[in-house]
Amino acid sequence: MLSGALMQRAGRRRTLQLTAPLWVASWLILGFAKHFPLVLVSECCDPEIRGRLGSLPTLSMSMGILISYVAGNWLTWRYLAFFSAIFCVALFVILLPLPESPVWLESRGADASQAIKWLHLSARATATVKDDENEKQEDPENLPSLFTRKVFFSSAVIKPLTVGFALLFFQQFSGIDAVVFFTLLSNGVSTMLVDRLGRRPLLLVSAAIMCLSMVAMGSSFYFQFEQESLLGLVVFMLGFSLGFGGLPFLLLGELFPAQYRSQLSAMASAVNLLSMFSVIKSYHALEAVLTSAGTFWMYACFCALAFIFVLFVVPETKGKSLAEIEQHFRGKKSKISALPMHPSQVHTHI
C-alpha cells in the first residue's frame, strides 16, 4: 500500500533508488545481529541455567526453518515474507520492557541495581573480575583500546579469543555447509543436556560423531555405495546439532572478558562467516581435485582436529559465573567483586 503511493508521488525510478539503501541496511542489520543475542543472554541469567538459555537461539533457528518450510506449503513467497515479519515485530515488542545487560551498565558506569532486581540475578551471576595489580584499568573512562599490543595479547583476551575462533572455524570446516541442514530434534537434546553434562562432553561427542560419519560418507563414495551415504549424512547432522551446531555460539557469550565482549564477539562472528564462505566456495573445487570421497575424508580430518582441540584446550564452563570464567583466563593475579545489588534483593542472596 505504501509503495503504491510512493511510486505515484516520487516516480518508479526514484522509488527503486529509495528502496536500495533499505535493502542494504536490512542485510547489514542481519549481519550485525546474528550472534549478539547470545551475549545478552549470557549476561542476564544465572550460571546454572545459562547453558539452556544460551542454546535456545540455535533451537529457535531450527524451529524457524521448520515453520518456514511448513508455512511455505500454503503461502506464496510474498505472504510468507509478511508472515515472517510478524516475528520481527514480536521481537521488538518483547524487548521493550526488558532491562539492559547489568554487565554493560556497569561497564558504562551506570547503576545496574534495577536491572539486577528485574532479572532476579544472584550476586555470583553479576560478579566482575579486577586485576589486583591495576584496578583502575577497568574504569570505563580509562579503559584502554582492545587493539593495543598489551591488551590484545593479554591472557584475558588472546586465550578465549583463540578458543572462540577455533571452535567457529572447526564448526564450518566440519563440512556442515556442504550439506546445509539443521535438525530440530538434536538441537532440543543439546539444550536439555548442556547444563547437565557440560559443554566439553557434548562438543567431544559431537566431534567424534561428525568425524566417524564423514569417514563413512567418504568410504561410501569411494566404494560406490552412494545410497548408504544418506545414513552417514543423517548421523552427521544429528552429531553436528548435538554440540557444534550451537555450543560455539554459547561459548562466545561466556569466554570473552566483559569489557571487550562486544568487540570480540563481532570478530569471532566474522571468522565464522569467513569460514562458512570458504567451505561453500571451495567445495566443488575440492571435489574436482580430491573426488567426493577425498573431500569428505578431509572434513573428517578437521573434525578429528576439533576433537583434539576441545580435549586439550577448551575449558569447561558449566555452572561457572562469567567472572569465574574470566578469572580462569586472567590467571591468579585477579579477584572477583560483585556488582551492587538492589537493597530489596540483599536478603535473598545471603
Classified as helix, coil or strand, 128 is strand
Range from 7-11, 89-93, 332-336 that averages highest in pLDDT: 89-93
pLDDT digits (tens, 9 = 90+) for 215-241: 998 998 888 876 777 788 878 888 888
Residues 38, 250 contacting (CB under 8 angstroms):
yes
47, three cell numbers: 550460571
Q: Check whether 344 has a pLDDT greater than 60.
A: no
Q: Lowest-confidence range among 23-32, 69-78, 143-152, 190-199?
A: 23-32
Q: What is the DSSP string of 129-178?
A: EEESS-GGGGSTTTPPPTTSHHHHTSHHHHHHHHHHHHHHHHHIIIIIHH
Cβ neighbours around 127 below 10 Å, total: 20
pLDDT at position 347: 43
- What gap in Å lies between CA 334 and CA 325, rounded to an integer? 12
pLDDT at position 346: 45
Q: Check whether 308 has a pLDDT greater than 90.
A: yes
Amino acid at 260: Y
Mean pLDDT of the chain: 77
Among 298, 266, 304, CA closest to 283: 298
Instruction: Tell me whether residue 176 is exposed, middle or buried, using C-beta atoms within 10 angstroms of its C-beta: 0 to 12, 13 to 18, 19 or more.
Output: buried
Among 268, 269, 254, 157, CA closest to 198: 254
Q: How confident is the model at residue 197 (pLDDT cuts 50, 70, 90)?
A: confident
The CATH number assigned to the domain with range 104-337 reads: 1.20.1250.20
**pLDDT: which is higher, 206 or 10:** 206
Q: C-alpha 302: how far from its chain's center?
A: 20
Q: C-alpha 219: how far from its chain's center?
A: 32
Cβ neighbours around 343 below 10 Å, total: 9
Q: How confident is the model at residue 262 (pLDDT cuts 50, 70, 90)?
A: confident
Range from 121-135, 174-188, 250-264 that averages highest in pLDDT: 250-264
Cβ neighbours around 213 below 10 Å, total: 27
Largest CA distance in the chain: 70
Classified as helix, coil or strand, 334 is strand
**pLDDT: which is higher, 333 or 30:** 30
pLDDT at position 33: 62
Q: What is the CA radius of gyration of the chain?
A: 23
pTM recorded for the entire structure: 0.68
Cβ neighbours around 44 below 10 Å, total: 23
Among 35, 52, 59, CA closest to 182: 59
Amino acid at 147: F
pLDDT at position 135: 42
